[in-house]
């Protein structure tokens, strides 16, 4: 059985609006999103999705439930398969435990409850505490008004050792739950507890569903204390996975095009005050690849904003390294460096929204920052400097998936040092997805082994591309197992790219697909395919497309099996495991049976 606490974690990470919006068109109506129900025929939308409640409901056929039920119904999956599909989409791994631990689930819910009560307490004190004036003056001094304070749930922890302890006692909430939530800490030399946050302005940290999972607090006057204090990690909070402001950014803009990563809570809040509603912040740690993956699941573009000093550039370089292992064609990244002594908070207050947006537009591309950083570390005006730069660059370029972006970096570096790109690949040991360095070697290896199947699969892939180009909506319902097969096959690269795009895009039609192709030079030929006449009804078209994808997947699975068997057959029998011997024996029996004469 899948543990309840994992289901709870999954529902925290997944946004039902994103999942439903990837399958059908939704339009925001008030607080909810409406569309045509996928479970019965209708002309007037009666299907509603609530982002706050994370539920869907059809007022026509009465279908309804959470995101897991939606995936089960729309994809025809059982419960474990639906959970696996959603888990894969947000990078979670299903635990292998056999039994559900209801105690863990209760504990997590208790922590969520305690954090919500604490959030109410902090907000109340920002309005009513007799010490509130300093906190209010701090926010006003940063230009923050009441509406932004409300939207971000800003609060104040008053001075004193046990204000929150007493508040929870009045609410008759168990101290153990409050301790587990990281809100209080045990006294060292006597019984009892004290408040973790004291005389600090408070920034609630929310998960993608809007639940409070932790707090950040900034000191007001006492310079002997740490300037910022975060909640400790708990069962609901892992700081290396979370981003401050992600819930608020998605709530403020349904169609986010990019997210900007900044360094502090106040940067996010100040930017939102100036109508720049797409910033998020790490929680006192350097940005990591898991957080960047989370960003790319929401938007195709990220901007990293750093101070222009040495520390800021070092942080940017760490961000670049984390980025290279997850970025691929279709996504982009830029690097924005502010003048020394400035941060996003001070900068946007000084020059306003328009000038700050201009800074974002003119910020460095990934390739520009990559080459500039190499130049600063190893000046490329000497032969030795060029050699050192290539040595540093090669392992980083190897992190990137094969594609246009990787070629751009290789060509930019080759131009900078004056060496042909192909020779640079060879000399620096820059690898591709198949582990060989020259394109002709890739072609030679694939055509020798799978020549018959490749000719057939090539035709089917071209046919599938033409069907999709004329009807991009077909890509919304592709089975995840088929996508996994395509992802690992170089011949299916374009097919995988456009199918993934269709699934991840909120609205899909021919015009939107053509716009996407115009931004991707290597997809330009697909626009011509869209003009081919296809005489099929809508139902026949869906069936034809699905069958074609299954045939391609079957051929590719056979290719893999043949390659695996070929590898086994070349190895000495004594080196094979019992399982490998069994696989080889079964394959030979099948082949013998196919060639045996009839009785």
CATH code at 54?
A: 3.90.580.10
Cα separation, 151 vs 249, in Å, equals 11
**CATH number, domain at 316?**
3.40.1360.10
In a domain, 96, yes or no: no
400 shares a domain with 532: no
- Please say whether the beta carbons of 524 and 517 come within 8 A: yes
pLDDT for residue 528 is more than 80:
no
DSSP secondary structure, 198-222, as one string: -SEEEEEEE-TTS-EEEEEEEESS-
Cα separation, 347 vs 144, in Å, equals 15
463 secondary structure, DSSP code: H
Q: What is the mean pLDDT of residues 463-492?
A: 82
Q: What is the pLDDT of residue 74?
A: 86
Give the CA distances from residue 37 to residues 34, 62, 283, 354, 431, in Å, rounded to whole numbers and listed in that order: 9, 10, 40, 41, 47
- CB atoms under 10 Å from CB of 303, counted, come to 21
Number of domains within the chain? 5
Domain boundary among 32, 63, 89: 89
* Structure tokens, 78: 């059982």
Better pLDDT: 432 or 156: 156
In a domain, 550, yes or no: yes
In a domain, 316, yes or no: yes
- Please say whether the beta carbons of 310 and 230 come within 8 A: no
Confidence of residue 536 (pLDDT cuts 50, 70, 90): low
Cα separation, 411 vs 434, in Å, equals 20
446 shares a domain with 380: no
- CB atoms under 10 Å from CB of 104, counted, come to 16
List all residues 6 or more positions away from 317 whose beta carbon is below 8 Å from its beta carbon. 373
- CB atoms under 10 Å from CB of 499, counted, come to 23
pLDDT for residue 550 is more than 80:
yes
Confidence of residue 68 (pLDDT cuts 50, 70, 90): very high
In a domain, 466, yes or no: yes
Describe the crossing of helices 366-377 and 310-324 by its angle, rounded to 10 degrees: 120
422 shares a domain with 452: no
570 shares a domain with 473: yes
DSSP secondary structure, 394-444, as one string: HHHHTTSPSSHHHHHHHHHHHHHHT--HHHHHHHHT---TTS-SSHHHHHH
590 shares a domain with 445: yes
Mean pLDDT of the chain: 82
Rounded to an integer, what is the distance from CA 546 to the centroid of its chain? 27
In a domain, 97, yes or no: no
Nearest to 247 by CA among 285, 206, 307, 194: 206
350 shares a domain with 329: yes
Query: What does DSSP say about strands 258-262 and 279-281: parallel, antiparallel, or unpaired?
Result: parallel
Please give the backbone phi and psi of residue 401, each rounded to the nearest 5 degrees, phi first. Answer: -65, 150
Of the chain, the end-to-end C-alpha distance in Å amounts to: 49
In a domain, 131, yes or no: yes
Task: Report the SS3 class of residue 359.
Answer: helix
Which segment of 1-15, 158-172, 317-331, 386-400 scores lowest on mean pLDDT? 1-15
Which segment of 21-30, 255-264, 345-354 scores lowest on mean pLDDT? 21-30
- Please say whether the beta carbons of 324 and 314 come within 8 A: no
Confidence of residue 445 (pLDDT cuts 50, 70, 90): very low
Q: What is the pLDDT of residue 594?
A: 44
Task: Report the SS3 class of residue 114.
Answer: helix
Q: What is the pLDDT of residue 99?
A: 41
Query: What does DSSP say about strands 155-157 and 64-65: parallel, antiparallel, or unpaired?
Result: unpaired
Cα separation, 482 vs 474, in Å, equals 14
In a domain, 237, yes or no: no
* 271: enclosing H helix or E strand: helix 265-273
Domain boundary among 362, 395, 417: 362
Query: What does DSSP say about strands 301-307 and 258-262: parallel, antiparallel, or unpaired?
Result: parallel
585 shares a domain with 448: yes
Residue 411 burial class via C-beta count within 10 angstroms: exposed 0-12, middle 13-18, buried 19 and up: middle
Nearest to 413 by CA among 371, 382, 379: 371
586 shares a domain with 452: yes
pLDDT for residue 566 is more than 80:
no
Describe the crossing of helices 102-128 and 132-141 by its angle, rounded to 10 degrees: 90
* 57: enclosing H helix or E strand: strand 55-58
Q: What is the pLDDT of residue 290?
A: 83
Q: What is the mean pLDDT of residues 70-80?
A: 85
The tens digit of pLDDT for each residue in 308-356 reads 777 788 888 889 999 998 888 888 999 999 988 888 999 999 999 999 9
Better pLDDT: 518 or 114: 114
In a domain, 236, yes or no: no
Q: What is the pLDDT of residue 458?
A: 75
- Please say whether the beta carbons of 434 and 490 come within 8 A: yes
329 shares a domain with 276: yes
- Please say whether the beta carbons of 34 and 47 come within 8 A: yes
**Beta-bridge mates of residue 334:** 303, 365
Cα separation, 502 vs 483, in Å, equals 12
557 shares a domain with 476: yes
546 secondary structure, DSSP code: H
460 shares a domain with 382: no
Cα separation, 275 vs 97, in Å, equals 46
Which segment of 27-31, 118-122, 148-152, 192-196 scores lowest on mean pLDDT? 27-31
Place of tokens 């051929």: 555
- Please say whether the beta carbons of 390 and 317 come within 8 A: no
**CATH number, domain at 475?**
1.10.860
Q: What is the mean pLDDT of residues 233-251?
A: 89
Which segment of 22-26, 98-102, 524-528, 570-574 scores lowest on mean pLDDT? 98-102
For residue 155, give its domain range: 102-230
114 shares a domain with 226: yes
Nearest to 144 by CA among 266, 227, 260, 283: 266
């Amino acid at each position: 059985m899948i543990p309840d606490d994992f289901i709870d974690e999954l529902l925290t990470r997944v946004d039902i609006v994103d999942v439903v919006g990837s399958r059908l068109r939704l339009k925001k109506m008030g607080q909810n999103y409406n569309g045509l129900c996928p479970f019965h025929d209708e002309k007037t939308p009666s299907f509603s999705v609530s982002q706050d409640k994370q539920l869907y409901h059809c007022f026509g056929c009465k279908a309804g439930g959470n995101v897991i039920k939606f995936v089960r119904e729309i994809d025809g999956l059982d419960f474990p398969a639906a959970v696996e599909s959603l888990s894969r989409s947000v990078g979670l791994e299903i635990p292998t435990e056999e039994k559900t631990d209801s105690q863990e689930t209760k504990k997590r819910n208790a922590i969520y409850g305690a954090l919500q009560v604490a959030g109410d307490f902090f907000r109340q004190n920002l309005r009513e505490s007799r010490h509130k004036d300093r906190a209010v003056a701090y926010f006003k001094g940063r230009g923050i008004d009441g509406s932004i304070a409300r939207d971000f749930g800003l609060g104040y922890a008053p001075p004193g050792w046990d204000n929150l302890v007493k508040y929870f006692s009045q609410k008759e909430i168990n101290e153990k739950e409050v301790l587990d939530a990281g809100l209080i800490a045990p006294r060292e030399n006597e019984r009892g507890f004290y408040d973790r946050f004291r005389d600090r302005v408070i920034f609630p940290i929310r998960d993608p569903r809007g639940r409070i999972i932790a707090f950040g607090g900034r000191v007001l006057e006492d310079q002997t204390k740490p300037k910022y204090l975060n909640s400790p990690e708990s069962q609901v909070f892992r700081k290396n996975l979370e981003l401050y402001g992600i819930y608020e950014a998605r709530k403020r803009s349904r169609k986010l095009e990019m997210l900007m990563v900044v360094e502090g809570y106040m940067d996010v809040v100040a930017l939102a005050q100036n109508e720049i509603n797409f910033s998020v912040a790490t929680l006192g740690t350097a940005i990591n690849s898991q957080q960047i993956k989370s960003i790319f699941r929401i938007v195709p573009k990220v901007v990293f904003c750093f101070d222009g000093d040495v520390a800021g550039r070092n942080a940017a370089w760490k961000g670049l390294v984390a980025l290279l292992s997850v970025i691929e064609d279709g996504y982009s990244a830029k690097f924005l460096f502010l003048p020394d002594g400035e941060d996003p908070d001070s900068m946007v207050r000084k020059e306003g929204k328009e000038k700050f947006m201009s800074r974002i537009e003119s910020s460095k591309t990934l390739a520009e920052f990559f080459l500039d950083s190499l130049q600063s570390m190893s000046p490329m005006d000497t032969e030795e400097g060029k050699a050192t730069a290539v040595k540093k660059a090669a392992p980083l370029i190897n992190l990137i998936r094969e594609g246009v972006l990787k070629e751009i970096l290789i060509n930019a570096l080759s131009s900078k040092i004056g060496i042909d790109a192909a020779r640079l690949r060879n000399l620096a040991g820059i690898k591709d997805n198949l582990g060989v360095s020259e394109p002709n070697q890739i072609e030679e290896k694939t055509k020798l082994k799978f020549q018959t199947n490749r000719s057939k699969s090539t035709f089917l892939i071209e046919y599938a591309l033409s069907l999709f180009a004329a009807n991009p909506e077909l890509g919304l319902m592709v089975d995840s197992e088929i996508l996994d097969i395509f992802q690992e096959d170089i011949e299916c690269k374009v097919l995988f790219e456009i199918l993934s795009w269709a699934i991840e895009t909120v609205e899909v039609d021919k015009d939107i697909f053509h716009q996407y192709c115009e931004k991707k030079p290597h997809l330009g030929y697909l626009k011509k395919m869209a003009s081919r006449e296809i005489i099929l009804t809508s139902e026949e078209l869906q069936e034809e497309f699905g069958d074609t994808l299954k045939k391609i997947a079957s051929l590719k699975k056979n290719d893999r099996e043949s390659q695996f068997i070929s590898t086994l057959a070349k190895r000495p029998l004594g080196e094979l495991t019992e399982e490998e011997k069994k696989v080889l024996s079964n394959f030979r029996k099948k082949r013998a049976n196919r060639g045996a004469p009839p009785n």
